[in-house]
Amino acid sequence: MTVELPPRMETISVHDIDELAERMKAFGWNMLHRQIEGGAFAGELIVAQLAGMQFARMTYNRGIRSRGDSPAGTIAIAVPLSVPRSLHWHGYNLSPDHALLQKSSLGLDFLRRGDFPLALVSISIDSLLEAAELTGRTRVESLVLDDTRTIRPDAGAVDRFRFHFQNLFPAIRSPQTLPPELAAIIRADFLDLMLDLLESNQTSPPFRPSSRYSFIKRAEEMLLENLDRPLAVTDLCKEIHVSERTLRYGFRECFGMAPAAYLKAQRLNGVRRQLKAGDGATVSDVAIQWGFWHMGQFAKDYRKMFGESPSQTLRRGS
């Protein structure tokens, strides 16, 4: 499958998590982000497309939870450029020596905390497999085609990837005017780097996702399916048949926070989106709809999460 990626480069600075999702659509990423850490959000996304590859450098100052889909027919490899405070990927708790694999067939399931840059390179699956076959990387095909979501490459391969990536954006500046010969060299270099990461994957000791991830994911899906009906922690426990203690351990392991705090963050994000929609409802009406009945505490929690009052959000949306 051929993936069309017209040459372009853009630096995107945002102060709204929904604007981030909207701007990413232009590059084929269909995402839903939720802020899970308090404070005004700021993010920077640098994206370049050339020679059929997509390069992205993502830095956010607040913890976010992201789900969605990547461009069809592609595979992406992402590596943190510095030590992440917290990086969870499909239930795996990743360290700096891991790389995540994003395959368009598997969807995206991501949680990150800490002001660290994440480097991502994406290419069509067919192109990567063709290059693997031509260069005799025999281990690559199974990693690309099965449900592997993360790898632990050789440290040298990770260092080379980081070094080349950090020097990429200053070198290209304008992909539209880049000489085709140079674009071809960059493509060949990064194809080789991606193949080295995959081929050097270390399988011992085995690396597995959290054993609690399956029921935590069900609990989160319940929240998303009932956005208009705020749920209590006890509702989640009854629905997925686990104790409150088990649920609490699972949320801390997978999301780094207690279920009650996670629930509140989701509800606050729901309020914010509705206020921004500007449908004529008052702040108190929307807050009550999302289960916040103590207006003073709600306003305090809202400002702590988003760095502004609910009325400020409402004014911008109207």
Write the pLDDT tens digit of every residue in 30-69. Answer: 999 999 999 999 999 999 999 999 999 999 999 999 999 9
Predicted confidence at residue 259, as pLDDT, reads 87
How far is Cα 18 from Cα 33, in angstroms, rounded to an integer? 7
Query: What gap in Å lies between CA 253 and CA 178, rounded to an integer?
Result: 45
Taking residues 230-252, report their average pLDDT: 88
- Which residue type is seen at 278? G
| Strand residues in the chain grouped as ranges (E) | 8-14, 30-35, 43-50, 53-60, 64-69, 74-80, 86-89, 92-93, 99-103, 108-113, 118-124, 150-151
Return the pLDDT at 228.
65
- Whether residue 251 has pLDDT greater than 80: yes
Q: Name, of 210-219, 223-232, 242-251, 297-306, the range with top average pLDDT.
A: 297-306
Residues ≥6 apart with Cβ < 8 Å to 164: 189, 190, 193
* Predicted pLDDT at 3: 57
φ, ψ for residue 191, nearest 5 deg: -60, -45
Does pLDDT of 289 surpass 60?
yes
The pLDDT assigned to 72 comes to 93
Q: b vs e for 29-67, b when ≥16 Cβ sit within 10 Å of the residue's Cβ?
A: bebebbbbbbeebebebbbbbbbbbbbbbbbbebbbbbb
For residue 92, CA distances in Å to 119, 236, 255 come to 18, 22, 11
Helices and strands, counts by H and E, the chain? 13, 12
User: In angstroms, rounded to a whole number, what is the distance separating the alpha carbons of residues 290 and 228?
Assistant: 7
Reported as a single tens digit per residue, the pLDDT across 269-280 is: 999 999 998 888
Indicate whether 295 pLDDT > 80: yes
Angle formed at CA 256 by CA 19 and CA 64, multiple of 5 degrees: 5
Judge whether residue 246 has pLDDT over 80: yes
